[in-house]
A and B are shown apart, each in its own frame.
Chain A
Amino acid sequence: MSFNLDPKIPAGPLSEKWDKHKFEMKRVNPANKRKFTVIVVGTGLAGGSASATLAELGYNVLSFCIQDTPRRAHSIAAQGGINGAKNYPNDGDSVRNLFYDTIKGGDYRSREANVYRLAQVSNNIIDQMVSQGVPFAREYGGYLDNRSFGGAQVSRTFYARGQTGQQLLLGAYSGMMKMVAKGKIKQFTRREMMDLVVINGKARGIIVKNLITGELERYAADAVLLCTGGYGNVFYLSTNAQHSNVTAAWRCYKRGAGFANPCFTQIHPTCIPVHGDYQSKLTLMSESLRNDGRVWVPKKKGDTRKPADIPEEERDYYLERIYPSFGNLAPRDVSSRQAKFRCDEGHGVGPTKQAVYLDFRDAIKRDGKEVIAARYGNLFEMYERITADNPYNTPMMIFPAVHYTMGGLWVDYNLQSTVPGLHVLGEANFSDHGANRLGASALMQGLADGYFVAPYTISNYLASTPLEKVTVDDNAFKDAEQAVKLQTSKLLGIKGSRTATEFHRTLGHYMWDYVGMSRSEKGLKTALDGIRKLKEEFWSDLKLNGDTSDYNLELHRAARVADFIELGELMALDALERRESCGGHFREEFQTADNEAKRDDENFTHAAVWEYTGSNSSPVRHKEELVFENVKLATRSYK
């Protein structure tokens, strides 16, 4: 089988592509919409906004999520904000500017046309969310307030205290609830998608596990939207919620959906450092803190003095020193790497020496404690609750942590995967962020996909595709269900000695040590060997109790870990094959004299798209060449 990786970018000038395409796409007439059923897996910003909008248009929506209610999807945890090119502060922002920053931020590894569209619809998102009652921060005059985020020299980030994701998700959720009440959305909570059903080459349904009863359920539809979020939890420790996982995307990959750039991972510079083996997650401290906090380490290696006792001239404000024009607001990949370099050199602080300071002393001196409290009060409280340190009096200690995955299922301009009828939205797709995502752009992308892109492109798909009638009694459903059953009984039959969490943690060590912030050929090969061995051990030594007739949380966990292990292998392979450094993907062999990422545009200006070829053969690496007609590829510099 060969992949069709035609990105289907509409012809015409960049700024007119989307309008032209919207005009040319086929539409479903209002009376016919009610004849179509669309499955939406996931209720985060992408899934929530898509479900609400498709239902408003008249489609029948079946909505699925793992949590007990759609409102708890992982998007809820986003703190800092959402970008929009409104130029309200009159600081020279524009659609073109946001487009350019995003392309550059992604280190020229994303698709121009998609990114431009994203910047275009960003403004509609802000309007839409305000009209739904999202209480964004305002100035005294009643106008919306903005702040800056890393990688940008304008203030274009809209926010709702430190709870922007929560407020946006509750907006999308309220839209969903409105349509649930009207009967246009059927809501299935505590469900986990276990497989995709493909009939005559088209996505026509899903197999779902009812997490409470353990039973498998079948759902048929005319199209499937996958909005299942990112896979950062492959590292075991990340800032993602506990239920974030790759299973849905992974099963689609095995059914023929290409997986693009799996190794593109974002490691966020400002998280609370690891403090023990029992630790279950890492907590992000919003990047917005870098608007006022200054990052530093002691100039003296192994300095054990209290931060307050270290005089000014003995502090290295290394981001300000190395990147004078962006300073503490240097992009995430760059900031994370610099923190790692400092710690590797022996300047790290705190009990583990794997931390740097984020200091608010000067901001408090300048603006007063009250102003800082109004900006970051809840973040400071959260920090204190976790660490028992008060950031008003002593600098925060922070360290990079896995946060976001730019890789994901490959999609064309219409957000359709290599499996017709399977559309992928939000963090689950390989996204518009290239090799590095800028802050406040994931919320924007999820809502752009769900509110303003997919509703048009799905209509086009439904209007232009002959769709045979299918029912859940078709063989394809039976076979897919059988495959899930088989895997489950295999897992339960191992009766080994190591828990799913143990395997997950070991996988996490391989990923963090060798497929993390800094990668090398040698390290990646070590990871590949280790993960392959781990996979064998998992399938021969997993300890699991109980059966399928119950709310068996360990079983659910084990099934996810099985997929994470396979994904880990693919990530290492992808990182090995990409013989260049770009964005968050830093290969030690490819760096400039001053340790910056060195791209190889001649050989790697493409998205790597992996095709599954069976459990006993290696996946095949395909390419989608990225064509830049509107921006000139340049060395990314934040100096």
Chain B
Amino acid sequence: MATTNNMTLNLKIWRQKNQTSEGKLVDYRVENVSPDMSFLEMIDVLNDQLVRKGEDTVAFDHDCREGICGMCSMMINGKAHGGFKNTTTCQVHMRLYKDGDTVVIEPFRAKAFPIVKDLTVDRGAIDKVMAAGGFITANTGNAPDANAMLIPKPVADEAMDAAACIGCGACVASCPNGSGMLFMGAKVSQLALLPQGQPESPKRALNMVYTHDTLGFGNCTTHAECEATCPKGISIEHIARMNREYLKAAFTYHEKNRSEGAG
């Protein structure tokens, strides 16, 4: 694991003081980057240099640093999470880069995700979409025995595939339309697959899609960029399943809350 071939990298990082100020790319040089470092540890090294020089550190979001919380973001060389298969930014390791590389680092950009500072954006719109229906109404204390309802393994597995979404928003940032269909489709699909989730399913799809459209997320025009960058390998098939649920709902609850853009 330990290697001594340390590298020097040239970084171009988006610096922006707050939501309203102007931002720009600023050049930095980081030396002594070990190939075993994670991408975020490389930025830690830069930030350490900045503190010592009396400068403001680069603000970026992160928490678990193991690819599960969905907090890290960043466009690295134009790709959400760096564009490595099934990998979040915190799981990108520097052995994927070469000595002397120039790396451009920008925030996730989307109308629904305003910039907070530097590489930090506000993804609160994801919570709002979830609050519109991303749940099963099962109040605490009412549940029947867990084995009372049998769920075939393939169904449970498919629901789990959809449930793996970490809500990072890379799908939105990589979509030319800034659409949130993939993360929303994943949730609608997970709950539609499970018998517990079926009673509310059409209504859920309708409400979530409606809310999604009012929050500045764009339409899905099946570019599939989202699927390609999703660090959890969420398939666009879930968008198709959501659309079916939506159509069912459009029949049942026609006119009420009807919105464009589910197609």
Interface of A toward B, CB cutoff 8 Å: 49, 52-53, 56, 67-72, 74, 76-77, 86, 88, 124, 126-144, 160-161, 163, 165-167, 170, 173-175, 177-178, 180-181, 187, 189, 212, 241-243, 275-276, 278-281, 283-284, 350-352, 381-382, 385-389, 397, 451-452, 455, 499, 501, 543-546, 550-551, 553-554
Contact A177/B65 with A135-B156, A545-B55, A546-B56 known, Cβ cut-off 8 Å: no
B150 pairs with A142, CB closer than 8 A: yes
Contact A130/B95 with A278-B44, A546-B56 known, Cβ cut-off 8 Å: no
- B58: nearest residue on chain A (CB-CB)? A553
Tell which of B95, B138, B151 has the most Cβ of chain A within 10 Å.
Answer: B138
- B92: nearest residue on chain A (CB-CB)? A385
Q: Hey, which chain B residues are within 8 Å of A452, CB to CB?
A: 140-141
Bound CA span A136–B145, Å? 14
B63 pairs with A170, CB closer than 8 A: no
Q: Hey, which chain B residues are within 8 Å of A212, CB to CB?
A: 116-117
- A178: nearest residue on chain B (CB-CB)? B135
**Shortest CB–CB separation between residue A337 and chain B, in angstroms?**
24
Chain B, interface size category, equals 35 or more
A499 pairs with B2, CB closer than 8 A: no
The listed residue (B65, B66, B117, B163) touching A167 by CB distance below 8 A is B163
B26 on the A face (CB < 8 A): no
Stretch in contact with the other chain, from B68-76, B174-182, B214-222, B242-250: B68-76
A142 pairs with B153, CB closer than 8 A: yes
Contact A280/B44 with A76-B64, A126-B146, A381-B86 known, Cβ cut-off 8 Å: yes
Q: Hey, which chain B residues are within 8 Å of A242, CB to CB?
A: 62-65
Q: Hey, which chain B residues are within 8 Å of A189, CB to CB?
A: 124
Secondary structure at the B interface, as helix, strand, loop or mixed, is loop
Q: Hey, which chain A residues are within 8 Å of B157, CB to CB?
A: 135
A276 pairs with B139, CB closer than 8 A: no
The listed residue (B45, B54, B151) touching A138 by CB distance below 8 A is B151
- B130: nearest residue on chain A (CB-CB)? A177
B31 on the A face (CB < 8 A): no
Bound CA span A576–B143, Å? 47
List 9 A-B pairs, minimum CB-CB distance, nearest first: A142-B150, A174-B135, A131-B143, A127-B143, A131-B138, A135-B160, A181-B131, A130-B146, A177-B131
A163 pairs with B151, CB closer than 8 A: no
B140 pairs with A68, CB closer than 8 A: no
Bound CA span A175–B134, Å? 9
Q: Hey, which chain B residues are within 8 Å of A131, CB to CB?
A: 136, 138, 142-144, 196
**Shortest CB–CB separation between residue A147 and chain B, in angstroms?**
15
Bound CA span A461–B191, Å? 37
Bound CA span A576–B1, Å? 37
Bound CA span A249–B197, Å? 38
Bound CA span A178–B137, Å? 8
Contact A551/B59 with A69-B127, A77-B69 known, Cβ cut-off 8 Å: yes
The listed residue (A130, A142, A160, A173) touching B143 by CB distance below 8 A is A130
Tell which of B41, B143, B150 has the most Cβ of chain A within 10 Å.
Answer: B143
**Shortest CB–CB separation between residue B203 and chain A, in angstroms?**
13
Bound CA span A138–B67, Å? 24
B126 pairs with A545, CB closer than 8 A: no
The listed residue (B117, B127, B153, B197) touching A551 by CB distance below 8 A is B117
Q: Hey, which chain B residues are within 8 Å of A144, CB to CB?
A: 146-147
**Shortest CB–CB separation between residue A48 and chain B, in angstroms?**
12
Q: List 18 A-B contacts (CB under 8 A).
A: A56-B139, A67-B69, A72-B64, A72-B69, A77-B66, A124-B143, A130-B146, A132-B136, A132-B196, A142-B150, A163-B68, A165-B68, A175-B140, A181-B131, A242-B62, A275-B2, A279-B41, A280-B41
B87 on the A face (CB < 8 A): yes
The listed residue (A68, A74, A276) touching B37 by CB distance below 8 A is A276
**Shortest CB–CB separation between residue B231 and chain A, in angstroms?**
11
Interface residues of B in 75-101 (CB under 8 A from A): 86-87, 91, 93, 95
Bound CA span A276–B62, Å? 20
B159 on the A face (CB < 8 A): yes
Bound CA span A138–B139, Å? 24
- A397: nearest residue on chain B (CB-CB)? B1
- A388: nearest residue on chain B (CB-CB)? B95
The listed residue (A53, A135, A143) touching B147 by CB distance below 8 A is A143
Contact A280/B65 with A68-B123, A135-B159 known, Cβ cut-off 8 Å: yes
Instruction: Give 1 or 0 for each of B1-44: 1 = CB within 8 Å of chain A CB.
Output: 11000000000000001100000000000000010111011001
